Amino acid sequence: MAARGGNILILDDNTDICDSLSDVLTTQGYAVRVFHTAPAAIEALDQASKSESPFDLIISDVRLPDMDGLTFVTELRNRSIDQPVILMTAYGSLDVAIKAVRLGAFDFLKKPFDVTEFLVSVERALAHNKLLTENKTLSEEITHRWKLGQIIGKSKAMMEVFDLIKRVSRTSANVLIVGESGTGKEVVARSIHENGLQANKPFVAVNCAAIPEELLESELFGHAKGSFTGAHQNRTGLFQEADGGTLFLDEIGDMSVALQAKLLRVLQDKLIKPVGSNSYKQVEVRVIAATHRDLQKAISQGKFREDLFFRLNVITINVPPLRDREDDIILLAKFFLKKFSAIHHVNVKGFSHDGLTFLTSRRWPGNVRELENAVERALILAKSNEISQEDLQFDEKRPVTDFEKTENGAYLSLKDLEKKYINLILNKTGWKKEKAARILDIDRTTLYRKLNEYDFKERAPETDLNLP
């Protein structure tokens, strides 16, 4: 039976050190088992992993008679033994410490070390292991009860979406997914693909709003060498890349009417014609389209072809906004908390009462994407081991500045304001483009297009200021 404090394995060929560490740990309420050789320790870890009382922490010397500590850590990870490991050595160096951490060690202590320092390291490692265990348990519970693919939800609205996905997945019919930005339309598309007949075939996604109109046709259908300036060789389009599988056309409502006509022909005939080519190529592709726009209104305005709408809209899946999924908010928030706690190695145990109240009372205009970003930011900036309403209201508390003005006090144009803000986020994230794109709520393709449009010059990575 596991001790209240946790089960700890000590590996060291020095019996005096083992006795000393064991005395210190047992006094603190931990259960300790001591081993003097790596093979014996590995065998015990293998057996314990199959029981109800696995080890929670491994403490090992670097210098062992039969296997050095670094090799020992590598062997554990190869066996999928993922409990935290604290390495000790009397011959420590920075290079060895760095290598140990890279191999998967949780901490590195140089002998002789202070007892308080040792116990702090042990407590941190055990808290980290508990966090990973809870995260795994939560993930398994969600997987079995409230998850379909990468979609999480237990509300009535999401149960209806789950049911529709399962039924649609069994067919090859085209699907139109509608919903507000941030609701997870691409995640729904991926779930349809992964649960369907084409699961082992390609899933190719393209954001129609992120690619300039003059390039989108080439992206979809490919082009022949010499068909336009810069076409130095033949290029395969996304329809061909998705052949046999699924092509996801996100933000289909932003596609030009001229290109809509060509897309309609492909859906009817299952033939594509690369730009500049005189020959057609046959493709067998399931098309899933998505939009946050009102296509019926776009049709009445002449901005979307009605015949294409009916061709795409064989089945419609309406992804509800988060404000209509109140039962899912806490479930999602806790899932994101566990996820980012493990990623950032931050021990935050949960949400305070006012934090939970804030989560469920907020309308979340940015939907699931906004909630995910809010939880990650609050986790990083939390002042205690619980996320409070104050932590979640970070943006709302930020004082108003003159960011929107030029040096002479004049207001910026919308274009200049966008450029200035993109530059701010890039600097705050140390020019980590994936992180910057997430904060800006745009995909990386759009960010790269903006960088080119505003003639940003690539910079060496700066210090990441932990902007969430």
Asked if residue 198 and residue 103 are part of one domain, the reply reads no
pLDDT value of residue 405: 56
Lowest mean pLDDT: which of 246-255, 292-301, 307-316, 334-343? Answer: 334-343
Q: Are residues 411 and 389 in the same domain?
A: no
Q: Select from 397, 425, 450 the last residue of a domain.
A: 397
Q: Look at residue 112 and tell me whether its pLDDT is greater than 90.
A: no
Q: Is residue 1 part of a domain?
A: no
Number of folded domains that form the chain: 4
Among the three residues 337, 370, 397, which one is the final residue of a domain in this structure? 397
pLDDT recorded at residue 295:
95
In this structure, are 24 and 109 located in the same domain?
A: yes
**Has residue 395 got a pLDDT over 60?**
no
Tell me, what CATH number does 108's domain have? 3.40.50.2300
- pLDDT tens digits, one per residue of 194-247: 988 888 899 999 999 888 877 898 889 988 887 777 777 888 889 999 999 999
Does residue 271 fall inside a structural domain?
A: yes
Q: Are residues 28 and 70 in the same domain?
A: yes
3-state SS of the chain is CCCCCCEEEEECCCHHHHHHHHHHHHHCCCEEEEECCHHHHHHHHHHHHCCCCCCCEEEEECCCCCCCHHHHHHHHHHCCCCCCEEEEECCCCHHHHHHHHHHCCCEEEECCCCHHHHHHHHHHHHHHHHHHHHHHHHHHHHHHHCEECCEECCCHHHHHHHHHHHHHHCCCCCEEEECCCCCCHHHHHHHHHHCCCCCCCCEEEEECCCCCHHHHHHHHHCECCCCCCCCCCCECCHHHHCCCCEEEEECHHHCCHHHHHHHHHHHHHCEECCECCCCCEECCCEEEEEECCCHHHHHHCCCCCHHHHHHHCCEEEECCCHHHCHHHHHHHHHHHHHHHHHHHCCCCCEECHHHHHHHHHCCCCCHHHHHHHHHHHHHHHCCCCEECHHHHCHHHHCCCCCCCECCCCCECCHHHHHHHHHHHHHHHCCCCHHHHHHHHCCCHHHHHHHHHHCCCCCCCCCCCCCCC
- pLDDT band at residue 397, thresholds of 50, 70 and 90? very low
Do 359 and 293 lie in one domain? The reply is no
Residue finishing a domain among 112, 143, 174: 143
Domain that holds residue 78: 7-143
Residue 215 sits in the same domain as residue 353:
no
Same structural domain, 414 and 388: no
Q: In the prediction, which pLDDT does 135 show? A: 58
Give yes or no: residues 136 and 178 share one domain. no
pTM for this one?
0.55
Q: Residue 2: pLDDT band by 50, 70, 90 thresholds?
A: very low
Q: Does residue 178 share a domain with residue 316?
A: yes
Q: Do 166 and 304 reside in the same domain of the chain?
A: yes
- Whichever domain contains 414, its CATH number is 1.10.10.60
Domain membership of residue 2 (yes or no) is no
